[in-house]
A = this chain, B = another copy of it.
Amino acid sequence: MASTLKDVAQHAGVSTATVSRVLNGDPRITEATRTRVLKCVRQLDYTVNTIARSLKTARTFTIGLVTPEIANDFFMKVAQAVEVRIREDGYNLMICNSNESIAEERHRVELLLGKCVDGLILIPAGPDGTHLRSLSERNVPVVLADRLLQGFQTDAVLVDNASGTRQAIDYLVDAGRDRFGFIGGDLRITTAKERYAGFCEAITAKGLTVHSDHYKFGDFHTETGYALMGELLSEENPPDTVFISNYYMHVGATQYLVRHRDLVPPGFLVASFDDMELSRVVGYAGLTIAQPVTEIGSRAAELLLERMRGRKPTSPRIERLRTRLVHHHVSAR
């Protein structure tokens, strides 16, 4: 079927070594043979079998990315940025889905290792990383993105979740808000934990009291955001300002608001982590915390490439990127 290097060699009347050299741009090859070989390559519609090449060279020029969710704008924007950066260095990206399961995460990582990826970027599915220990022994470079891991030490690129949240709450309190609700993600996940911590810090620092029946937690999905906003608004004395820990919950929560306008107290305002194109369109969003999504990806890629070059065998580096407050001047409704 697919023609091999040997086929090309025969057609061109040279050795396989020569063909290989031509393919790899070895300079000491006659222009004559080079063109002859390349002609045969074209004629036979030859493509290298990178499987075979990788088996020999022990390099794949592929880096793996494992993400807890594939249909997730935030993660995919990170992936996109990773790809852009690594492609500059000639690497390809292979994306795998851990489906928010630690077990699947392990499988995906093993799959990728079996495929001999040269490096790995991991957006962890859970807080625990002990199942990844084997990675260090094989010394495959790994960089974490977005979330931190316990029991596994490597480079990581994160944002400053706590201070980003603090900043938003400070702003809102200064603007006169004092009846806060909170809709957060699973506290075992570092981002969710840090954001909640930042929230609480800000609240207490401003001398407000923590009103924990107004604080709801769940996974980070749209439906959950919807449900939790419902819970909040059906309380006797609902908050008038709700901080939402992430984008998809924000979307869900807003769906609830749109469908239940009558339940929404006057002056109601939502602030949320993550600023996406849609945050600007979604009602009730007064304030969002923008993460440097692209930078997360490109920095993660950068750290990984450095590790892969073998340079800087330093101890794990954890980079915290800054968030940015975005004010939305939505007209009241």
Asked whether A76 lies within 8 Å of B71 as measured between CB atoms, the reply is yes
Interface size on A, residues (CB 8 A): 55
A59-80 vs B: 1/0 string, CB under 8 Å? 0101000000011110011011
The answer to whether A252 has its CB under 8 Å from any CB of chain B is: yes
Q: Per a CB cutoff under 8 Å, which of B49, B96, B331 touches A93?
A: B96
Q: Which of A47, A62, A72, A333 has the most chain B CB atoms closer than 10 A to its own CB? A: A47
A113 to B46, CA, bound (A): 11
Q: Per a CB cutoff under 8 Å, which of B1, B139, B283 touches A138?
A: B1
Asked whether A139 lies within 8 Å of B1 as measured between CB atoms, the reply is yes
Asked whether B261 lies within 8 Å of A281 as measured between CB atoms, the reply is no
The answer to whether A94 has its CB under 8 Å from any CB of chain B is: yes
Q: Which residues of B contact A116 (CB under 8 A)?
A: 49, 51
Asked whether A114 lies within 8 Å of B49 as measured between CB atoms, the reply is yes
A75 to B330, CA, bound (A): 30
Q: Per a CB cutoff under 8 Å, which of B79, B111, B283 touches A92?
A: B111
Asked whether B47 lies within 8 Å of A55 as measured between CB atoms, the reply is no
Asked whether B1 lies within 8 Å of A47 as measured between CB atoms, the reply is no
A333 to B330, CA, bound (A): 13
A8 to B40, CA, bound (A): 42
The answer to whether A193 has its CB under 8 Å from any CB of chain B is: no
Q: Which residues of B contact A70 (CB under 8 A)?
A: 76, 79-80, 83, 95
The answer to whether A137 has its CB under 8 Å from any CB of chain B is: yes
The answer to whether A50 has its CB under 8 Å from any CB of chain B is: yes
Asked whether A277 lies within 8 Å of B252 as measured between CB atoms, the reply is yes
- A50-B115, A80-B71 known; A278+B251 contact, CB < 8 A: yes
A22 to B261, CA, bound (A): 63
A1 to B118, CA, bound (A): 14
The answer to whether A245 has its CB under 8 Å from any CB of chain B is: no
Q: Give A residues with C-beta under 8 Å from B.
A: 1-2, 45, 47-52, 54-55, 60, 62, 70-73, 76-77, 79-80, 83, 92-97, 110-111, 113-116, 134, 137-139, 222, 251-252, 254-255, 258-259, 261, 277-278, 280-283, 330-331, 333
* 29 A-B contacts (beta carbon < 8 Å): A1-B139, A2-B113, A45-B134, A47-B134, A48-B114, A49-B114, A49-B116, A50-B111, A51-B54, A51-B55, A51-B60, A70-B76, A70-B79, A71-B73, A71-B77, A71-B80, A72-B76, A73-B73, A80-B97, A93-B97, A95-B95, A251-B277, A251-B278, A255-B280, A261-B331, A278-B281, A281-B281, A281-B283, A333-B333
